[in-house]
Amino acid sequence: MSRTWESNRIRAVTRCSFVGGGAEMGQTSQDYDVVEEIGTGSYGIVYKARDQVSGLVVALKQIRVQGSASGVPATTFREIGLLKRLCRLRCQLVVKLLNVITTPLPENSDIQITLVFEHVEQDLASFISSFPPPCLPDELVKSIEFKILKGLDFLHSNRIVHRDLKPQNVLVSDRGQVVKLADFGLSRMYSSNSVLTTVVVTLWYRAPEVLLNAAYATPVDIWSAACIFAELASRTALLQGNTELEQLRKIFRLLGSPAEEAWPQSSSIPWRSFSGEAGVPLSTAVPNLTGNGQDLLREMLRFDPTQRITAQDSVNHVYFEGMSLP
């Protein structure tokens, strides 16, 4: 790890500056003062920092890459490409990429790629856990879920599937008024003949078609959004399996076993392994949702992805009547 972080500062030697949704390449230097570490994972570390020139508070996603730029993982290139595209499209519901910084590390041939994002106070998981009991107000649940689905509608209409939607990847302001989809490391552009990997989506928010190793597309994001919807209403995750098989079992115990003809033929898991589950009413599992909310949740949790409601139809559901973006 570069010692620059110990002095709470990153000094960039290459900066890709996004202006008006486009990109300008130029050799310059820029200092950011790190305020605190706000997240970590297999991808690297995220810091809250302040731009010394503008004073703007930003989030820095730092990725260390061994060797030269040719060794940068394809997922990093893909994420940067998608974020640049989204920046040009100017969606207020997607976290904005401000800069891409490449810093050679002096002690070896490694490089450090830093993605500079606009800063939002917290992720949705922290927001939910810190909210006073017993539950979030109905209008707040409705507002946040509406914005998540509007964000998904924007992505899907531009042929982008997020593939890792979960509360930790949704950013919200202190009062929940600002909502932005984030972390596009697993996101992909797709087409009708795309072949997509099954190693996507955090387990609790993973759609059954992914768990069954079947073909999938944008409906996987709707399933994840449904799990978030239920979590907003109940303050606890809807389906908490420890393994893929256990997660499938929890899904079918909730929804009931699907008909054999609906089972994906490409799946190596036999239908009989999960037959016979009667399911429970969603009103029992998520009692805090209103009648229209229950109906929307049911449509979002359809086992058959072709029958699952789309993001566009979701935001037009009667549950969101009167809702609009500012």
| Residue 84: inside a domain | yes
The whole-number pLDDT of residue 199 equals 54
The whole-number pLDDT of residue 318 equals 97
Looking at per-residue pLDDT, the higher value among 50 and 290 belongs to 50
Kindly provide the residue ranges of all beta strands, DSSP E only, lying in 43-96, ordered along the sequence: 44-51, 57-65
110 belongs to the catalytic site:
no
CA distance 268 to 283: 32
Q: What angle do CA 106, 59, 170 make, to 5 degrees?
A: 135
The whole-number pLDDT of residue 291 equals 84
Query: Residue 4 phi/psi, 5° resolution?
Result: -60, -30
pLDDT digits 0-9 by tens, 79-129: 888 888 888 888 999 999 998 888 777 766 678 888 999 999 999 999 999
Mean model confidence pLDDT for the chain: 85
The whole-number pLDDT of residue 200 equals 59
| Residue 170: inside a domain | yes
| Residue 311: inside a domain | yes
The whole-number pLDDT of residue 27 equals 27
pLDDT above 60: residue 181: yes
The whole-number pLDDT of residue 13 equals 38
Do 153 and 86 reside in the same domain of the chain? no
The CATH number of the domain holding residue 203 is 1.10.510.10
Do 64 and 137 reside in the same domain of the chain? no
pLDDT above 70: residue 69: no
Structure-block tokens of residue 110: 């490694």
| Residue 242: inside a domain | yes
Do 21 and 109 reside in the same domain of the chain? yes
pLDDT above 80: residue 4: no
Domain span holding position 57: 3-118
Compute the average pLDDT of residues 284-291: 92
- Asked which of 118, 134, 168 is the last residue of a domain, the reply is 118
The whole-number pLDDT of residue 313 equals 98
Q: Considering only CA atoms, which of 142, 116, 141, 138 is closest in space to residue 127?
A: 141
Amino acid at 321: E
| Residue 326: inside a domain | no
| Residue 243: inside a domain | yes
Structure-derived torsion over alpha carbons of residues 134, 138, 144, 150, reported in degrees to the nearest 10: 150
| Residue 325: inside a domain | no
The whole-number pLDDT of residue 191 equals 57
pLDDT above 80: residue 204: yes
Q: Which of 153, 164, 183, 221 is catalytic?
A: 164
pLDDT digits 0-9 by tens, 259-277: 999 999 888 899 999 998 9
Do 167 and 242 reside in the same domain of the chain? yes
The whole-number pLDDT of residue 70 equals 55
pLDDT digits 0-9 by tens, 24-40: 333 233 578 999 998 87
- Asked which of 79, 94, 118 is the last residue of a domain, the reply is 118
Do 69 and 184 reside in the same domain of the chain? no
Minimum mean pLDDT range among 160-174, 177-191, 232-246: 177-191
Do 186 and 285 reside in the same domain of the chain? yes
Do 114 and 168 reside in the same domain of the chain? no
Do 43 and 141 reside in the same domain of the chain? no
Do 127 and 74 reside in the same domain of the chain? no
The whole-number pLDDT of residue 266 equals 85
The SS3 assignment for 8 reads coil
Beta bridge partners of residue 32, listed in sequence order:
10, 51
The whole-number pLDDT of residue 63 equals 83
pTM: 0.87
The SS3 assignment for 61 reads strand
pLDDT above 50: residue 19: no
The SS3 assignment for 261 reads helix
Query: Residue 95 phi/psi, 5° resolution?
Result: -60, 140
Cβ-contact 121, 174 below 8 angstroms? yes
Structure-block tokens of residue 10: 């990153």
Structure-block tokens of residue 288: 């805090």
Compute the average pLDDT of residues 249-254: 97
CA distance 69 to 214: 34
Beta bridge partners of residue 37, listed in sequence order:
47
Cβ-contact 50, 142 below 8 angstroms? no
pLDDT above 50: residue 314: yes
The per-residue b/e assignment along 113-131, b for 16 or more CB within 10 angstroms, e otherwise, is bbbbbebbebbbbebbeee
pLDDT above 60: residue 219: yes
| Residue 247: inside a domain | yes
CA distance 100 to 104: 13
Do 188 and 53 reside in the same domain of the chain? no
The whole-number pLDDT of residue 67 equals 60
The whole-number pLDDT of residue 81 equals 87
The whole-number pLDDT of residue 71 equals 57
Looking at per-residue pLDDT, the higher value among 125 and 54 belongs to 125
Cβ-contact 325, 147 below 8 angstroms? yes
- Asked which of 101, 118, 135 is the last residue of a domain, the reply is 118
Do 147 and 184 reside in the same domain of the chain? yes
The whole-number pLDDT of residue 293 equals 97
Do 278 and 188 reside in the same domain of the chain? yes
User: How many domains in the chain?
Assistant: 2
* pLDDT over 90, % of the chain: 58
Compute the average pLDDT of residues 289-293: 91
pLDDT band at 11 (very low <50, low <70, confident <90, very high): very low
Beta bridge partners of residue 261, listed in sequence order:
none
